[in-house]
Chain A
């Protein structure tokens, strides 16, 4: 690990001022950053510790009704967020997704803001012995496209061959981000020029021509809060994660499904996929097809087909397309089922 200077920030302004150049990084839980520094994938010359900032609360947003959404401080730990009773009751999708990720120890360390910024676990990004990685060394090519690409993307990837400086088939590894995409969260950030709010669908990005950029966040901007809109999927949601082990492993694919139900019909739907793309993959067309329909296997299969339109597999990950298709149907079925079990007097049989 390269030596680095360490500064402990006592205010957001001070932290932003201290991250003066691209060689500086904010330090939150450190579960990803310190790991990547040990691997020499990240080599900041200065760390600005933000863990003492006052961004550790989960607050109700007052609204016209009692449910005006919720504001989560960027430094709220994953375990704390997953167990907050307001999240458990009103945003079970988020609690379930958070608890599907990592281990209890890591969830005690990892922060909300840091989870948003998790970097890919592409083997070729994580290992500097491989020279070709456009994400780690821009312009160097992509070793994954013709390498072992079991955990890689099937949607939204940039595939111009192994030699191109734009090729990248890395995936975003987070579970939390998938739930936030389905819930339609907003990320609040602060930079030297002031504050701005970024919708989750605009926060993470596809590789495009700059695979080194995971997000639209500028290097000196600090995530301060994550805002959840008023809860519409509280009763009907499910996070389905499929992986090589039953626990403590990254997703091969995951599905975050939320349904807003009224008298036996779907009013609105939130659907996002994890482990399939460079960003949490929001399935807008599938959501539209679900809205107004009565839940049924056919409706769910159609949504799955729409969600995976244009999916492309590689030597080791082509199985993910069918795996995703089946698990979208399963997640939607389980989400719809919640009403049946929790609302016995309801119209659904």
Chain B
């Protein structure tokens, strides 16, 4: 027997968004859906001794499972301190988009596969859709909204404009945040699997294969990849095709 959580609530429970529990007004017999389900549920399992006690235990278990748990969170987002009290299930992406109104970071797959949600946490690029806001508490977060200096675009933003590094633009905030971190990682000599294949593990050069590998966590369904690579190459200070 499967039941929706609300069916176990008390009749006077305020949770009834669809109004199913309201008395009918058109002359039909009036009973609430909730009390109907409750009654039929008990009748349905039969008058077996011990069942009411089991039902109570089941109710208690379900209540603990369905009650949202709240958690207080401190974040610094684009230099601005933010204090939020959120359901523990809230991801950093949802905290940014739904609670701080920073909708630049995009929800693509919501499973860490597309990179549209990429933001910088303490300077490192991460998938904000797989980061719990509670776990990120205390962090410095930079989103696409925080990259420009007033009216002056960041070098990566400007390069994406100059090189037409997008079509529809949906993946672009993630691409730009990712590329911004890529340049920092590269400055610090970080490696990729391409560095191992090319043998350049001492000081890897940002060749096009390196850029493609290092941007592989950001998908673009428009297929603007050649221009994205050109944008990153330009932002890195490279001239022609590497």
List residues of chain A with CB within 8 A of the CB of B218: 103
List residues of chain B with CB within 8 A of the CB of A105: 112, 115, 118, 125-127, 178, 217
Binds A, one of B83-91, B147-155, B164-172, B221-229: B83-91
Contact between A79 and B216 (Cβ–Cβ < 8 Å)?
no
Q: Most chain-B CB neighbours within 10 Å: which of A2, A30, A82?
A: A30
The residue from A5, A83, A103 contacting B115, defined by CB atoms under 8 A apart: A103
B38 within 8 A of A: no
List residues of chain A with CB within 8 A of the CB of B217: 102-106, 248
* Residues of A bordering B, CB below 8 Å: 1-6, 8, 27, 30-31, 34-35, 38-39, 45, 47, 49, 51, 79, 82-83, 88, 92, 95-96, 99-100, 102-106, 108-109, 239, 246-248
B201 within 8 A of A: yes
List residues of chain B with CB within 8 A of the CB of A83: 189-191
Please provide the chain B residues from 19 to 68 with a CB less than 8 Å away from any CB of chain A in the complex.
64-68
List residues of chain B with CB within 8 A of the CB of A99: 191-193, 195-196
Bound CA–CA A239/B196 (angstroms) = 10
B11 within 8 A of A: no
List residues of chain B with CB within 8 A of the CB of A5: 69, 88
List residues of chain A with CB within 8 A of the CB of B181: 104
Bound CA–CA A51/B138 (angstroms) = 12
Contact between B191 and A109 (Cβ–Cβ < 8 Å)?
no
List residues of chain A with CB within 8 A of the CB of B193: 96, 99-100, 247
List residues of chain A with CB within 8 A of the CB of B91: 34
Bound CA–CA A247/B218 (angstroms) = 11
Tell me how far the C-beta of A248 lies from the nearest C-beta in chain B, rounded to whole angstroms: 4
List residues of chain A with CB within 8 A of the CB of B69: 3-6
Binds A, one of B74-82, B98-106, B128-136, B234-242: B128-136
For the complex of A and B, 8 pairs with smallest distance between CB atoms: A103-B217, A247-B216, A6-B88, A99-B193, A248-B216, A108-B124, A105-B217, A96-B196
Contact between A30 and B131 (Cβ–Cβ < 8 Å)?
yes
Bound CA–CA A1/B189 (angstroms) = 39
B7 within 8 A of A: no
- Closest B residue to A101 by CB, please name it: B193
Known: A4-B88, A6-B88. A104 touches B135 (CB 8 A): no
Contact between B67 and A104 (Cβ–Cβ < 8 Å)?
no
Contact between A3 and B66 (Cβ–Cβ < 8 Å)?
yes
Known: A3-B65, A27-B132, A104-B182. A35 touches B111 (CB 8 A): yes
List residues of chain B with CB within 8 A of the CB of A247: 193, 212-213, 216
Contact between B135 and A49 (Cβ–Cβ < 8 Å)?
yes
Tell me how far the C-beta of B236 lies from the nearest C-beta in chain A, rounded to whole angstroms: 15
List residues of chain A with CB within 8 A of the CB of B67: 3
Known: A49-B135, A109-B130. A3 touches B68 (CB 8 A): yes
List residues of chain B with CB within 8 A of the CB of A248: 216-217
The residue from A2, A31, A96 contacting B130, defined by CB atoms under 8 A apart: A31
Contact between B185 and A104 (Cβ–Cβ < 8 Å)?
yes
10 pairs across A/B with beta carbons < 8 Å? Answer: A3-B65, A4-B89, A39-B111, A49-B135, A104-B182, A104-B214, A104-B216, A106-B112, A106-B217, A108-B125
